[in-house]
Structure 1
Amino acid sequence: MEIQEKLKILSAAAKYDVSCSSSGSNRKNTPGGLGNASESGICHSFAADGRCISLLKILMTNYCCYDCAYCVNRFSNDLPRAMFTPDEIVSLTINFYKRNYIEGLFLSSAVYKNPNYTMELLIEIVSKLRKKENFNGYIHIKAIPGADSALIKKAGELVDRMSVNIELPSSSSLKLLAPQKTKENILKPMSYIGSQINASKYEKGIYRNAPSFVPAGQSSQLIIGATPESDFQILRLSEKLYKNFGLKRVYYSAYVPVSNNPKLPALNNPPLLREHRLYQADWLLRFYDFSSEDLLNEKNPNFDTHLDPKTDWAIRNIDKFPIEINKASTRELMKTPGIGVRSVRKIASARRVRSLDFDDLRKLGVVLKRAQYFITCKGKYYGSVSFNDQLIKETLKNNVNSKFIYNSIPSTNYEQLSFLTSPPSVYIPSDSYTSISGEL
């Protein structure tokens, strides 16, 4: 098979993997080397600060020994198959880089023969790039669940970021849709990578030239809508991954109907709005001092389709509002709808000089369209705002339209974006990864 045909098949096969970002690494070039990986990033994804980045995003192979019901590359699926050799991927990466098409590589793979064999091939590729071609650009690879820890360590010393995809949020869902995978095989390498990253940081604090291990951190991916878990379960799992394994990002991928397996839900389109709400909530977990229990609970397990999670939380906790802009703590400001992290910093700095009014807030970037219902300035409400939780909720819902929601959804690779679907009705299984911290 010609390499162009392989590239067409394996780049298309990689489009469902969204845990792709190049932010966080600053690997520098060396004398006689090629390329570098700076925090300004690359493409086909987005850096942490929103910039577009470009990576060669491919699978090494889509030949898979697993038969996961939700996966387009399952071995029971009849589709064109291909496999790159290590030298072909090295040649593609170097040639694309020299032509200024890319600045880095995102390399994943189906499980070919077994996890260790697949991991050895991935290591051969990145080792040739680093040592033979002296390539210092960004490299992100997948750690294959079930691979030996020694192989994970060897790969981690060569790449900038690694990811281990959880895919499904509970062991019952894994057993149903991916019986050849186990929770332990997924969490074990994730835990190992996290511990090695911490050890590397400690060593670098003592020895300047200590080797790096996955300097851009690790990430993971969860599929949304293929199984019956609620938003609360998914968000609680993400929170534990951040706390216990130090993940940089958890990515959420709306399930794309690629199988007619009766175990899977019959969806006409991916649940993109649900994915969008989870990304918003994930941001609140990482930067706004919220917890999963703040945003959802077992009585209220799914996000509102009309209101963003922060606004929904504020309305449900209306007794905490309004806050006085000139007196509120930074933590109170952070939890107020319409006020972001940068606005909080600007407010804290400006009010040292004088008391602020609504015109000042508008100049500082506060979104008064939402914030007006939850704040006062110098003891006064904004205009004729009525402080009533039901009235506020209805007003904000009426301000939301489908165009706003659609344009707010993060960029995806999905082709079917004709309309948005509401989250399906769900139940809470009893065996989700709620005790993740005590199992490894």
Structure 2
Amino acid sequence: MIQTRPIAPRRARGLRNGPGIVLAAFLLLGCAAQRMHDEGRALIDEGRVEEGLARLQEASHEDPSNRAIRADLLRNREQAVARLVNSASSERAAERFDVAEALLKRAEGISPNDPKVKAGQDAVNADRRHLAALSEAQSLLAKGDITAAREKVVAVLVEDPSNNRAMSLRRQIEDASARETLTGPTLHNKLRKPVTLQFRDANLKMVLEALSRTSGINVVLDKDVRGDLKVTVFVKDTNVEDTLDLILFQNQLEKKVLGENTVLIYPNTPAKTKDYQDLKIRRFQLANAEVKQAQTALKTLLKTRDVFMDEKTNSLIMRDTPAAVRLAEKVIASLDTAEPEVMLEVEVLEITRSRALDLGLAWPTSLTVSAEPQLIPTDVANITGTSGTTVSTTRSFIQNPNFTLGI
């Protein structure tokens, strides 16, 4: 009798092997992701950061469930952005803005929405504006336009209070303003253009009128200036103020600047000088010099009379001409210096005599003796017998007995 066995359909066998195929596929994907991860790390170690991060990104996409690969990607991305932003900050400090922008552009490519990158780009743009504004302020200060220069610097310091260049320029503006306060107003820099004049034995008023039309300055004459004064001047491409000084010097005249484009001319006599010359008041705070000594020096060297000393605050108050005040500043600066001192550096060392007891040999405080069974003679005769006890006189000991003597 022939028995038949049913044969399972092929489809049923395929379904039975399905989980194994899926598992194999997952294993292959995991191996591929790990290989991409290793390649990305190697590229980053070689300095090819962007390529390495792109490879890590591919590995993360290949195996999204691998948290280790994802964490490594985020960590390396953050470190790369931080390095680029720090390098850009160093380039900003050195005013190499193009290099800083290139570094931030790389960081933006790595992490487009990183707030640190956006802040760095805004800082570079602000630094560019500030540098341009400060350069313009420097030019304005060189031309004598202190007010406009101060406005530029203040605008920069409002946005960046720690800007070293702006703070330095502000100190220069303050010094220039202080000098202007002492010396009085000066002619506007636009009116200091070069002029050319050629006059021989010409009337003073006619020459001043020609100079006024050429330069645009207003000339006011004192009532005591004689009308018959003659001037001979031949100048070419000379500053207006220098030309005016030459004309006044020929006729013993002096000028006083009343504004940016107005000049008063008066005879250079003691009476007129006293009437027109401005007096300045300056207070000097002394830190090292004695106030009495400083007062005596000013009266002796500068022949100034109006000097008041305040012993309580160790200060001087002086009233004199701007030129005398400037000389007094130099005298006070030379007197008010600190006396040289000798600085001694003292170092206190703490010692103890107990350390002296540790010098020399350390003698033992105990003695230890121990014996081991191996010290028993190895050749012993039979101690039992009819004739009594017999012990061999030849004894053999271990060459290195286990015997210790502790000292």
TM-score by length of 1: 0.21
Structure number having the greater strand percentage: 2
Higher relative contact order (CA 8 A, sep 6+): 1
